[in-house]
Amino acid sequence: MHTSSGGLRCLGSRHYCFSHNSHHFRAILFIFAVLSPQLCRLFLWLESRRRPRFQPVCLEIMERLKFWLVTTAHLLDSLWFRDESDYKVGMNLVSVVAASSHALVIAFILMSNHVHLVLQGTYEECMLFITRFKKLFGQYFSHKYGSKELLRRNEVDLRELRYGDESLERAIAYVQMNSVAANICLNANEYPWGTGNAFFNPSLPKGTPVSEFSVRECRRLLHSAEMVPPYYCFLNEGIIAPSSYVQVSFVESLFRTPKRMNFFLQNSSKARRQTEFGEKDVPAFRDQVLTAAIQDLCRSSFHRTGILELNDAQKGELLRQLRYRFSANPNQLARVAGLSYEQISSLLDAY
């Protein structure tokens, strides 16, 4: 807060020294906006407040800043997040990367087999953001599950967005609606692993500042030796509140009203896809439910600890039970079982 207010006073004094039509003034501000994450945050804040004095300059700067939709490739035969503890670690590692990154987080969501983020920054800054997140989560995943190659082969796509042509609004809505399109929840604000309930939410929990926790406790919760700023807040669930590092005010200003944001949510490509295909195209149960069911069935039906200990006949029987009990399609079975689509089809057809 100190940096932002100081920057505001500096910008205010420069405003009176230069006119909005000064090309030198605009060039200087643009250079500093590109080079300084703090000044980027300041422009997002000024734009969110829509202060008339700064609006002409802010609008030109905002139109030049880069926004990106960052998407990891969908894992077809494995999961990023197998249980709730994995999601909590993922949430906290987003905050860890955000604390030290030049890229700013606009919105994000963690799905079972992929991740979406909307970031502001240069291409290099945003690529570094997702690369660091993959590295940190990959280290955690490897330590917990023993898999070292999970995220190394997971490709990333960055798609540039424009401020002012509604592509930014559509991208945010696309990200928010992933959980609804996957039939996990009825409304985007019900999904806890991302920014689903971060916007236009007057009852958003504040949490407890990081400064009230010991360094040791913070590192245990964050699963990282890297610290986050003391003004970040932990929620009761042990995760950093997204409002601590997401540009909430800017997003709310971008959409202007909850009604307008809801319009984009209901008309996003994810929402249209669910309407067009209905229930048959989306899983009836979350991946984590099937993952837990696999462990239970392996123990109760085959007296084994996991699917890797089963022979092909037993795997076929397990997959048929999952398909019957949970209405799971081959794509979902491949993700939760850690097998390829071809293996799943072969096992279902053979036994």
Query: CA-based Rg of the chain, rounded to a whole angstrom?
Result: 23
Cβ distance 72 to 155 under 8 Å?
yes
- CATH 3.30.70.1290 residue ranges for the chain: 67-280
Q: Which residues pair with 107 in a beta bridge?
A: 118
Q: How far is CA 210 from the centre of its chain?
A: 21
| Dihedral of alpha carbons 38, 44, 46, 48, sign | negative
Q: What is the pLDDT of residue 47?
A: 58
Please indicate, yes or no, whether the overall pTM of this predicted structure exceeds 0.75: no
Q: What is the pLDDT of residue 76?
A: 74
CB-based burial of residue 249 (10 Å sphere; 0-12 exposed, 13-18 middle, 19+ buried)? Answer: middle
Q: Which of 154, 157, 194 is nearest to 172 (CA)?
A: 194
Q: What is the pLDDT of residue 12?
A: 32
Homologous superfamily of domain range 67-280 = Transposase IS200-like (3.30.70.1290)
Instruction: List, in order, residues 6 or more apart from 221 with CB less than 8 Å away.
Output: 92, 213, 234, 238, 239
Mean pLDDT of residues grouped by 10 in the chain (351 residues)?
35 34 52 59 61 54 83 84 92 96 94 93 94 93 80 86 91 93 83 94 89 94 93 94 93 92 85 49 70 84 84 86 79 78 73 48
Q: What is the pLDDT of residue 75?
A: 80
